Chain A
Amino acid sequence: QVQLQESGPGLVKPSETLSLTCAVSAASISSYYWSWIRQPPGKGLEWIGYISYSGSTNYNPSLKSRVTISGDTSKNHFSLKLSSVTAADTAVYYCARCLYDILSGHIYDMDVWGQGTTVIVSS
């Protein structure tokens, strides 16, 4: 079955760039939409953005100025970069596969999730 696995540094210094990768198995990143979601300690879910099968992206307006999501079809993985991080960016970061509604032109269900990776922003 489809599996997603996040990886990256667990500790990032304030003002630096957070970089994470999501490795996808049993599905091609060229065939679906893929999202990053985060969850601060003890809080709810926040959608960060997605990358489409064709490489187009869409970001949460609240994070748009600091976020870049990219894909590498040769490695079948996609990545997240979040710049100028602060303590408020401390969270568990999840990647997920999204389903896309052609009629409405946007994503809806997130049907497969990675196990998540914890990122702490601290000096």
Chain B
Amino acid sequence: QSVLTQPPSVSAAPGQKVTISCSGSSSNIGNSYVSWYQQLPGTAPKFLISENNKRPSGIPDRFSGSKSGTSATLGITGLQTGDEANYYCGTWDSTLSAVVFGGGTKLTVL
């Protein structure tokens, strides 16, 4: 069981928008930056969102991040079939003194 809670799966049609939630607590999301990672099938995770809501160089503006209290959200607009992947949130947990990840959300673009 992961410290951060994500929905196991989400789906939407091409061109549509989807959001993926990541729920935690005051010891992790509530007190630390949240990162998001995209893992395409058979590949290593890729850094997608930095410091809650910043896009690293090369990440399209179709991807966005936000944080409120002890929850964070990843948004993807203009969905493409190439966006089909597992998405993970991650942050530091001050009680565990460890990096924690969500269980991952599988995005299907119908």
User: What residues make up the interface of A, taking CB atoms closer than 8 Å to B?
Assistant: 35, 37, 44-47, 50, 58-61, 94, 99, 101, 104, 106-116
Chain A contact residues, majority secondary structure? strand
Residues of A within 8 A of B97 (CB): 58, 61, 106
- Find B47's partner among A58, A107, A112, A116 (CB 8 Å cutoff): A112
In the bound complex, do residue B32 and residue A106 qualify as a contact, i.e. CB atoms below 8 Å apart? yes
A92 and B44 alpha carbons, distance in the complex (Å): 9
Chain B residues whose C-beta falls within 8 Å of the C-beta of A61 in the assembled complex? 96-98
Residues of A within 8 A of B103 (CB): 44
What are 9 A-B contacts defined by CB distance under 8 Å?
A45-B104, A47-B90, A47-B99, A47-B100, A104-B31, A108-B32, A108-B35, A110-B35, A113-B47
Chain B residues lying within 8 Å of A107, measured Cβ to Cβ, are 92, 99
Place the interface of chain B in its size category.
20 to 34
Q: Bound complex: CA of A104 vs CA of B28, how far in Å?
A: 12
Q: Is the CB of A35 within 8 A of B99?
A: yes
> Is A114 in contact with B44, judged by CB distance below 8 angstroms?
yes
The answer to whether the Cβ of B77 comes within 8 Å of any Cβ in the partner chain is: no
Encode B9-47 as 1/0 by CB contact (under 8 A) with A. 000000000000000000000011101010000011111
B38 to chain A, nearest CB (A): 11
Q: Which of B35-66 contact A (CB under 8 A)?
A: 35, 37, 43-47, 50-51, 56
Nearest chain-B residue to A63 (Cβ)?
B98
Partner of A108, one of B45, B46, B91, B101: B91
Quick check: A110 and B47 within 8 Å, CB to CB?
Answer: yes
State whether the Cβ of B94 lies closer than 8 Å to any Cβ in chain A. yes
Question: Which of A47, A112, A113 is close to B101, meaning CB atoms less than 8 Å apart?
Answer: A47
State how many angstroms separate the Cβ of B44 from the closest Cβ of chain A.
Answer: 5
Distance between Cα atoms of A45 and B47 in the complex (Å): 13
The chain B residue sitting closest to A35, CB to CB, is: B99
How many whole Å from A97's CB to the nearest CB in chain B? Answer: 9
